[in-house]
Each structure stands twice: as structure tokens, then as C-alpha cells.
Structure 1
């Protein structure tokens, strides 16, 4: 009987995910996503191709693995918000905190490695298409956190929120990719977030978060 604890198995699994993903992304950045085969990634990671596919169902997931931990982030923010805080206010505060921390998910990050990753992502149509699948699952999780009793209304609200977060991040990244620093974009990013969440509050029928 194995004495290995589930926690240890899970940590090893995560380490394998990370190691294989890192190896793949390094190769994709060097040669281009479409010019590297899954077999080459498996060989570089010293695992078999079938084993790789057990971890990553599609080639695109080798890159988008980095988004996996963020897939249910909006739902976690809403579920864990303090008493008396509206979902939109909790999400707005979380986004502003991410901007201040230069969280890559907000697009406001000018670290060269992050910029290279975003160029790979947004410059590869199949990766962008696969990313929408992650965002769809994010909407479903957020809808459950918002109001599981009214699934259609909650899904509509979640779709608007996830779209706003995506657009804000893409606009920040676009400006930084064009040559501006994160510091130069920061004030505008904060203002854009304020406008976006105010519009969300108006559209969803609630008070604008302050």
C-alpha cells in the first residue's frame, strides 16, 4: 500500500504541469507556436506523448495552463467578499489591487517575459480561440457565485463582467506592447476601470461602486 499522501501527489502533479508548460512555452517563444510539435515538447520534457496529453488535452493548453489558476478567480472574489460588499465592488477592488501589483492578468505588466508571453498568446489565433473556452468556464463559475437561483440572469451578468475584465486587460496590454511603460499607463488604467465598473453597475441595475 502506498504511504504517499494526496497532498504530495497533487503537488507533484502541479510541478509536472508547470515543468512541461514552461518547456513548451520556451520552445514556442523561440520558434513559434505552429512550428513546434507536441512530440518535440514531450521529448524536451522527457515524457511520452500520451502522457503529455493526459496532462494537456490540447496543444494550446500547454500555453493556457498559466490561466488555469485564474479561471475561477472572479467567482472566488465574489464568494469570499466581506459582508456588506456588493459583488461588483469586490471585483472592482480586486482589479484595482491587481493593477497596483502589476498583475499580468490585468495586462498592466511590462516585465519582458510577460510581454513575450502575451505576444505569443495574442499573436496566435488558435490560442486566442482556446482562451475563449477558459473565459466561458469563468463566466459559468462566476454566475454560480452571483446567484445560483436565477441562472440565466446570473450568466448574463457574469458574461458582461468577464467581458469587461478582458477588454480592460487587452487595452492595457495593447498600450504597453506599443511601447508605454506600466507606470505611464497606470493612471489611465485606473480611470478606465472606474468607468467600466460604473457602466456595469448602471447596466446591471445596481448602484455604481465607490
Structure 2
């Protein structure tokens, strides 16, 4: 059961996502219903949908965090640090701490397999690429320190990270050594954002 005193807030959301992820990993995304998630989490379907717009978001509950991190990367970067460099530093920091959004967390492989095995989840990730691209472009447009093409910069930044992340996930699912995968991940981030910095 969700803890009392949360008032339907972040703890309840995290609890529902944790329960849902466990069920998805165990049985597969397509074979678990929202009603089953609600029952296992000790909440109603209404409560589930008050926190998650769709079933796919139960498995990909970290996506809103990615938007917040991307916006903060632009907004909070030090003076004199370009946008591309700020993203390079941020993505390397996520990799170093093995953050779930880096694709390098120790516990992330089972969920990655679940996502890769579901067309609905893969489709949701592709849709999210456009969403976060728009968020980054919007933040750049309102940033007085950025004078370039906001839409183009956002598209290239998202594409660069997606390319690296997909390759990293494929290697993890192939069973490659995590230490080697992490090293290659960071090397490719440096290469990708280094090239972008010159281009932009």
C-alpha cells in the first residue's frame, strides 16, 4: 500500500511505477493490465491515471525527469559555457553516476529488455524524442545567452544522444561487459558533442 500522508503525491507515483515495473519485467508489458497494476499497488485505476496519462508511462516513468534535466542543463549552465558543452557535461555526469536515464544503471537491464520487447513502449520512446526536442527548443528560444537556431540545435542534440543511447542499450542487451559499455558510451558522447560544438 502507498504510505499515508503522501496525499497522492510523488511517493504514491513512485510506488505505482515500482509495482508496475516489477509486473512488466516479470510478465511482459502487453500481458499486464492497468487494473492489475492498480490492484497490486493497492490503489484505484483512477489514482493510477491521475499520475500517469497512459499505460506506457508506467514503465517509462523517468521521462518527465529527462525533460526537467534538459531544461535545467540549459538554464543553469555557467556563463561562458555553450549549450552543447553543457549537454556534454550533463550526459557524462549521468553516465558517471550510472543514473537510470543514462542506460547504465546496474538494475536497468531487465526493464530495457521489457521495453525492447514491446512495440508500444518503443513507439512511446520515439514519440518522446519529439516531445523533448520541442522542450529543448523552447528553452533555447527563451535563453538570452543563446543566439543560434533553437529548433536545429535541439534536433541535433537529441539526435546525438539518442544515437549513443541506442548503441549502448543494444550492447547491454547483447550481454557485453558493463564497464566496457560505459567506457564506450562516454567516448561516443565526447565524440558526438565535440562534433556538434564545432558545427553549431
Relative to the length of structure 2, the TM-score reads 0.86
Where in structure 1 are there 5+ consecutive unaligned residues? 1-7, 205-210
Counterpart contact for 2:62–2:101, Cα < 8 Å = no
Match of 2:45 among 31, 42, 49: 49
Question: Are 1:96 and 2:92 counterparts?
Answer: yes
1:12-68: CA deviations, max 9, x gaps? 511111111111111111111111111111111222222322222211111111222
Map of 1:142 onto structure 2? 136
Counterpart contact for 1:72–1:142, Cα < 8 Å = no
> Where does structure 1 differ by over 4 angstroms across 4 or more consecutive aligned residues?
149-152
Q: RMSD value over aligned CA atoms?
A: 2.3
Counterpart contact for 2:85–2:197, Cα < 8 Å = no
Work out which of the two has the higher radius of gyration on C-alpha atoms and give 1 or 2. Answer: 1
Where in structure 2 are there 5+ consecutive unaligned residues? none
Map of 1:119 onto structure 2? 113
Name the CA shift for 1:151/1:42 in 2 (closer, same or farther; >3 Å). farther
Paired residue total? 194
What are the equivalent positions in structure 2 for 1:157-196 lying under 5 Å apart? 157-196=153-192
Counterpart contact for 1:75–1:145, Cα < 8 Å = yes
CA distance in 2: counterparts of 1:103 and 1:52, whole angstroms:
25
1:124-172: CA deviations, max 9, x gaps? 1111111233332222221122233899931221011012112211211
CA distance in 2: counterparts of 1:46 and 1:119, whole angstroms:
26
Counterpart contact for 1:60–1:126, Cα < 8 Å = yes
CA drift of 1:119 comes to: 1.1
CA distance in 1: counterparts of 2:184 and 2:49, whole angstroms:
42
SS at match of 1:71: helix
Map of 1:36 onto structure 2? 32
Relative to the length of structure 1, the TM-score reads 0.83
Which shows bigger deviation, 45-54 or 141-150? 141-150
Name the CA shift for 1:183/1:158 in 2 (closer, same or farther; >3 Å). same
